Amino acid sequence: MKVLIADDHSVVRQGVSLILKEAFEEIELAHAETIKDTVDILKNKVFDLLLLDINLPGGDSVDMIDKIRAVQDKIKILMFSAYDEEQYALRYIHAGVQGYLNKLSSEDKIIEAVNAVLKGEKYISNKVKDRIFENAINKLPDNPLDSLSNRELQIANLLAKGEGNLEIANKLDIRMSTVSTYKSRIFEKMGVNNVVSLVEKFRLHKG
């Protein structure tokens, strides 16, 4: 079994490697730190599974799934992220990955997720499954949060928490003008014209 671990934090790559080596007798591991590294490695070797950080440098959007599929369309992809799974899991499942795993998951859950994906199954937490079921039963309308890009959702979360443009710019190491541009896009996509209305939309749709 060949597995590529793509994460920009060495401690994460090493930690996951140890877990997988203990769980699987015959396993070959490779590491990547950026989306470019990931694509370059995939061009030269076929892998069974890609354990992919959602916030990988050069990626940070569902578009990176297309880049990966363009190189190896059969590879199974398990997203590995600290981002809120209720907000991000389904957008990546819809983009064609096989699973979404939170980085705070236990070793047993990591092994369970890897096994499930390798068997051709989808893997999401029970929490997300319950949310899908609840939405289906209640026939809830489409969630406008799903229309936001990863960066837009990140900034929308900060705005909803009461952080201003300057605070957000400093926290994300981007320009204030960039924050303003994102803010305008977020307001347009969410159908609001102020932060108070944005917070109300979050309360309604974030769950």
Query: How would residue 135 be classed by pLDDT, with cut points 50, 70 and 90?
Result: low
Q: Tell me: do 126 and 163 sit in the same domain.
A: no
Domain endpoint, select from 98, 131, 164: 131
Q: What is the pLDDT of residue 55?
A: 81
Q: Tell me: do 25 and 49 sit in the same domain.
A: yes
Q: What is the pLDDT of residue 60?
A: 64
Q: Which segment of 92-96, 135-139, 164-168 scores lowest on mean pLDDT?
A: 135-139
Q: Tell me: do 179 and 104 sit in the same domain.
A: no
Give the CA angle between residues 87, 88, 89 to the nearest 5°.
110
- Please name which of 178, 118, 119 lies closest in space to residue 154, comparing C-alpha atoms: 178
Q: Is the pTM of this model over 0.85?
A: no
Q: Tell me: do 41 and 113 sit in the same domain.
A: yes
Q: Tell me: do 28 and 100 sit in the same domain.
A: yes
Q: Which residues constitute the domain of residue 200?
A: 144-205
Q: What is the pLDDT of residue 196?
A: 86
Overall number of domains in the chain = 2
Q: What is the pLDDT of residue 188?
A: 87
How far does CA 175 lie from the centroid of its chain?
24
Q: Tell me: do 91 and 153 sit in the same domain.
A: no
pLDDT at residue 51 tops 80: yes
